[in-house]
Structure 1
Amino acid sequence: MLKSKISIIGCGWLGLDLGKTLAKANFKIKGSTTSKHKIDILKAHAIQPFIVKLQESGISGDYSQFLTGSDTVIINIPPGLRRNPSKNHVLEIKHLIEAIESHAIKNVLYISSTSVFENKEDFPTITSKTRPNSTSNSAKQLIAIEELLKNNTKFNTTILRFGGLVDETRHPSSMLSGKKNVTNPKAPINLIHKKDCIGIIQNIIENNHWNIILNAAYPKHIDKAIYYTEDCKRKNLPIPQYDYSIKSKGKIIEVTTLVQLLNYHFAVEP
């Protein structure tokens, strides 16, 4: 039996596999991309493709057809501030919210990040009730978007903040391998495998967990230096060299609320 219709904004590293999984679970999936070469890839996985681009000046592409008829919209796009630090991502999302409102969407799932919380020397425990407090440009924009969405009364919003995203093809060990003076060696890790990201999203949608805020990371928080040293050894990669001269800053992402509310069991240890 065909389930509800879902529009996924951003079918990249996470969004494409998410769309594939939800399509196999009999949801009707529409997926947006900014690249024409991805059209056939989406089609091959039973995802109806649309070219949609969010810009400060508005939305371009066939966004109306992309949203029409869907019950749920999953917003899964990074702010893109590393490439363009001066970009106003909040304004881009404001245009999207207006479009969502005009298409009678019932539910919005916003994929945010645990980077909205400041790293500190005492490694604070972050719960779903902890107020975001990071002052970086990217974090401030994510926090502003979270506020816009959760205060909107025209649709239900769930905010899902992921820790560091990993899978077999994308892992921080590869980027840190062989580097020198790596900072925050004693900071606890907060990673989550893509398979669990998708499992949590599917759980939220299938069980209608709306109007909540959840943080998500694998509930094991060993020291950064210990974790990456061991992981690089396993993969026969050069071991990173750490800077212990400056006190480490970090945080611990607590996921008790998520585990209890969703009755969720993490599938993959990063």
Structure 2
Amino acid sequence: MEKVSIVGLGWVGLPLAEKLQKDGYDVQGSKASTEGVEEVKALGLNCQLLNTTLDLSLRNPNIKALFSCDTLVITLPPNGHHGLKKYASIVAALAKTAEYCGAKRIVFTSSISVYGKQANIVTEQSYCEPINDSGDAVLAAEEALLAAVKIPVAIVRLGGLFGDDRLPQNWLQKKTHFDYPNHSINMVHRVDAVNAIAAIIAGDWTEKQIYNVVVAMHPTRYEYYNKVAVDHRLPLPIFDEAELARPTRASYVDGSKITRDFPFQYQGSIYEV
């Protein structure tokens, strides 16, 4: 039975672990608090306590068991308790520890924020030019990870995640003003994100891979948030009129490569309620 370890059983990592276990994998994961570990164990999943620091002692048998796997999945947000500045070092340390313990492959959940704001259709071959600290941290983590290990790595650049308790109508209730009205929406439902990562884990690949995971629906932010507001009878969002009138190209991130390389198809809609 193939063993998969997931560092970070959070909003994406936990449903991924549940799916993989149902699919017949030997799955275990980690949480950063004792309370979190107990909550995960109550769901019938194997979970270890792991504070994401650079001190990954393999003298702890539970930690060694966590990293002794066939595939390690690292799904930690860059703005977690470890902080942006340490993020790349932590990701690299996790990967090196797994390689030392015999892991054959690593999957890292990244973000399309590494591309910044570009004027053309963005593919996995596009240049990366982040425009914020979070994007910088994610790109640095990608580079540190690839430099740290010799085993195959799959980088999964996720679009804006939504679903369940994270819905655009909720965002509109908390926020009234929005920037970049002519920029395209690049989103993916959590279910699609989980299924995409699972498809990669089940696939046969032996070299570095990069995949954008973004559903093929790209209205402008102006179009999207206005439709959501109307559909849910909410006040219309406010955009800067000067920005709205400025002619800009509505580029988007192409997430189709993964559908050609693996038996995976997007199921979610960006307008799902």
Q: Which amino acid counterpart does residue 73 of structure 1 have in structure 2?
A: L
Q: Does 1:229 align with 2:226?
A: yes
- Structure with the bigger percentage of helix: 2
Aligned match of 2:242 = 245
- The share of aligned pairs that are identical, in percent, is 24
Q: Does 1:144 align with 2:163?
A: no
How many angstroms apart in 2 are the aligned matches of 1:118 and 1:63? 36
Superposed CA deviations along residues 116-169 of structure 1, whole A, max 9, x for unmatched, are 01114x3x2110111211143222222122123334553110001000000031
SS of the residue aligned with 1:73? strand
Structure 1: gaps of 5 or more residues: none
| Bigger shift: residues 158-167 or 146-155 | 146-155
Instruction: For residue 264 of structure 1, report the CA deviation from its aligned partner.
Output: 2.3
TM-score normalised according to structure 2 size: 0.88
Instruction: For residue 251 of structure 1, report the CA deviation from its aligned partner.
Output: 3.9
How many angstroms apart in 1 are the aligned matches of 2:174 and 2:24? 44
Q: Which amino acid counterpart does residue 268 of structure 2 have in structure 1?
A: V
Query: Which residue of 86, 94, 97 maps to 1:96?
Result: 94
Aligned match of 2:18 = 20
Q: 1:251 to 1:202 in 2, by over 3 A?
A: same
Instruction: For residue 113 of structure 1, report the CA deviation from its aligned partner.
Output: 0.1
TM-score normalised according to structure 1 size: 0.88
SS of the residue aligned with 2:6? strand
Q: 1:135 to 1:243 in 2, by over 3 A?
A: closer
How many angstroms apart in 2 are the aligned matches of 1:9 and 1:178? 31
Contact 2:95 2:106 in 1 (8 A): no
| Bigger shift: residues 169-178 or 94-103 | 169-178
Contact 1:184 1:224 in 2 (8 A): yes
Q: Supply the RMSD in Å over aligned alpha carbons.
A: 2.2
Q: Which amino acid counterpart does residue 52 of structure 1 have in structure 2?
A: L
Instruction: For residue 110 of structure 1, report the CA deviation from its aligned partner.
Output: 0.4
Aligned match of 2:52 = 54
Contact 1:72 1:106 in 2 (8 A): yes
Superposed CA deviations along residues 193-214 of structure 1, whole A, max 9, x for unmatched, are 0110111111111122452111
Aligned match of 1:43 = 41
Structure 2: gaps of 5 or more residues: none
Q: Which amino acid counterpart does residue 87 of structure 1 have in structure 2?
A: K
Q: 1:177 to 1:251 in 2, by over 3 A?
A: farther
Instruction: For residue 250 of structure 1, report the CA deviation from its aligned partner.
Output: 6.3
How many angstroms apart in 1 are the aligned matches of 2:139 and 2:176? 32
Aligned match of 2:256 = 256
Q: 1:84 to 1:236 in 2, by over 3 A?
A: farther
Superposed CA deviations along residues 170-210 of structure 1, whole A, max 9, x for unmatched, are 12331233634311112110000011011111111112245
Contact 2:115 2:128 in 1 (8 A): yes
Q: 1:179 to 1:152 in 2, by over 3 A?
A: closer
Aligned match of 2:268 = 268
SS of the residue aligned with 1:133? coil
Contact 1:179 1:241 in 2 (8 A): no
The 5 A counterparts of 1:93-242 are 93-120=91-118, 122=119, 124-177=120-173, 179-210=175-206, 211-242=208-239
Instruction: For residue 239 of structure 1, report the CA deviation from its aligned partner.
Output: 2.6
Q: Which amino acid counterpart does residue 214 of structure 1 have in structure 2?
A: Y
Contact 2:84 2:133 in 1 (8 A): no
Q: 1:178 to 1:165 in 2, by over 3 A?
A: closer
Q: 1:260 to 1:236 in 2, by over 3 A?
A: same
Aligned match of 2:78 = 79
How many angstroms apart in 1 are the aligned matches of 2:108 and 2:84? 22
